[in-house]
Structure 1
Amino acid sequence: MTQNSLDQLTDQFINYLVVEKGLSRNTVAAYSKDLILYVESLRKNGISDIADADMTLVLKHLIDLRDAGLGPRSRARHLVTLRGFYRFLVHEKILETNPAKVVDLPKAGRKLPDILKIEEVARLLEAPHASKPLGMRDAAMLELLYAAGLRVSELIKVGIANINLEAC
């Protein structure tokens, strides 16, 4: 295959995404951009025949993206693009195997939650109007969140049967 055939294969894949998969314009543009970078990477590594690309080159490309400053989510999207591209090539019988299939997605680190200052917690606990029934409920919920260190998802699962009113 020639270098033009790499371009032809990417064009065929992009056309497939538009016509057969019906993906949005933005998604297709992102896939196209990812593939342009990958084809450039292949050419930089002396690959002009897609059949010569292997898992090592896929990994090298992802490492190059990391070294260029792309975060885990962006690299994961690139890998998803490459998996889809190679899956298409296997389906079209251009390749026998998908070298991107065995590459693991980059792990996205979890961002720690922001912590409230003591003054902010105090203002939050004083905010409900405890003279009204809904205010009393809100105050109790905020106190429970704060005192027990619950997540909101845990708090909303608390039912009236879970509360011992005798202990109050």
Structure 2
Amino acid sequence: MNYQMELNGFLTYLMIDRGLSLNTKENYERDLRSYLSFIKQQSVEQLNQIEREQIQLYLIELYERGLNTKSVARHLSAIRAFHQYLIIEKVCVKNPCDLIESPKLTRDLPEILSIEEVDALLESFKQDTPGDLRNRAMVELLYASGLRVTELLNLRLEDLHLSMQFIKCQGKGNKERIVPIGEVAAEVLDLYLTIARPKLLKKPTDVLFLNRFGEMMTRQGFWKILKKQAQMAGITKELSPHKLRHSFATHLIENGVDLRLVQEMLGHSDIATTQIYTHISKDHLRGVFEQAHPRSGKTSAENEGFFSQSLEK
């Protein structure tokens, strides 16, 4: 009973045919090794003998191990994809997962920074050293574009088109997309390229953002820079690169940008992924309503004060 050959074939399929990242492939491999180990313990001799009941028992065991609903749903997704591959390869004729419903997920709304907090963060940067200019350029670009941190750090010089204020980036599945950036981000990037990057450069490379050794900035290195800068800006929320991406998307929607345009800029393949930001925006709208509407529970004096402040802004 050796499942290794089919598992290896599936992992190769993920990388070559589906174009998934090494990190995603490793996640699939880890989940499926756990699953196949369980199946072996059930004395199943062949992959085409696996039944729905055995998969259901495995999911129950995952819950008993203490995994949350999101993790169990991820395991089931990997199992479902593996069995679908076995059908493609004619190892099996049916997918035993077909009648198993995915666990219902309750999706938490991501925490974001307010516009005032973003302004405080971006204005807190010094410009005394090449490192200062680089740090400001990275964070300014991250918020201006909504890039994932990996996409940001993988940028090359040829990806910048500052005169036209847009960049190219390689997203998930090696999908290329065009992302507009604002005038401020373009100016800050130009300053970094002109003054700072030549001083950080140690050997020829087209990598955009360099560390002090002249090499590509790491995710961990950028994370430390961001956390330190948040402290300097007096931001008490736990800050991460992804939180800036969430903030970028939410602020665009709050200011009336079409959801499909935000989807394109974020590189989401499914608009359902982008729709979570409309919920955040609705929460924002609800807060404004409760402050402003005469029948929201506020006193007339409180509402009058709110409108006066709004008009002054």
- TM-score, length-normalised on structure 2? 0.36
Q: Does 1:151 align with 2:148?
A: no
* Deviation by residue 1:45-68 (Cα, 9 ceiling, x = unmatched): 111310110110111111111101
Residue 156 to residue 98, structure 1, CA distance change in 2 (3 Å): farther
Paired position in structure 2 for 1:100: 97
State the partner residue of 1:78. Answer: 75
Is the counterpart of residue 57 in structure 1 residue 61 in structure 2?
Answer: no
Aligned residue type for 2:283: R
Structure 1 alignment gaps of length 5 or more: 113-149
The 1:151/1:26 distance shift into structure 2, 3 A limit, reads: same
Check if 1:7 corresponds to 2:139. no
Q: Hey, which bits of structure 1, 4+ residues long, moved more than 6 A?
A: 162-165
Unaligned stretches of 5+ residues in structure 2: 110-281, 305-313
CA RMSD of aligned residues (A): 2.8
Aligned letter for 2:69? Answer: P
Structure number with bigger Rg:
1
Instruction: Tell me: CA distance 1:22–1:156, structure 2 relative to 1, closer, same or farther (3 Å).
Output: farther
How far did 1:151 drift?
Answer: 2.9
Q: Following the alignment from structure 2 to structure 1, what is the Cα–Cα distance between the partners of residues 44 and 4?
A: 13
C-alpha deviation, 1:33, in angstroms: 0.4
Map 1:8-157; keep pairs closer than 5 Å: 8-109=5-106, 151-155=283-287
Partner amino acid for 1:36?
R
The verdict on how the C-alpha distance between 1:152 and 1:96 changes in structure 2, with shifts beyond 3 A counting, is same
Q: Per the alignment, do residues 27 and 110 of structure 1 end up closer, same or farther by CA in structure 2, a change over 3 Å counting?
A: closer
Equivalent residue number for residue 131 of structure 2? none
**Structure 2 counterpart SS, 1:151:** helix
Change (3 A) 1:110 1:96: same
- CA 154–11 in structure 1, closer or farther in 2 if over 3 Å, else same: same
Taking the aligned partners of 1:54 and 1:19, their CA distance within structure 2 comes to 29
Q: CA deviation at 1:153?
A: 4.5
1:91, distance to aligned residue in structure 2 (A):
1.3
Tell me the CA shift for residue 163 of structure 1. Answer: 7.8
CA distance, structure 1, for counterparts of residue 74 and residue 64 of structure 2: 16
- Aligned residue pairs, count: 125
**1:49-97, CA deviations, whole angstroms, 9 ceiling, x for partnerless residues?**
1011011011111111110111100000000001100111111111111
Q: Amino acid of the residue matched to residue 284 of structure 2?
A: V
In 2: Cα distance, 1:42 partner to 1:153 partner: 50
Kept in 2: contact 1:42–1:48 (CA 8 A): no
Q: Using the alignment, how far apart are the partners of 1:153 and 1:87 within structure 2?
A: 43
**Cα 1:111–1:27, aligned 2, differ >3 Å: closer, same or farther?**
closer
Q: Is the Cα–Cα contact under 8 Å of residues 86 and 99 in structure 1 kept in the other structure? A: yes
* CA–CA distance in structure 1, aligned partners of residues 67 and 87 of structure 2: 28
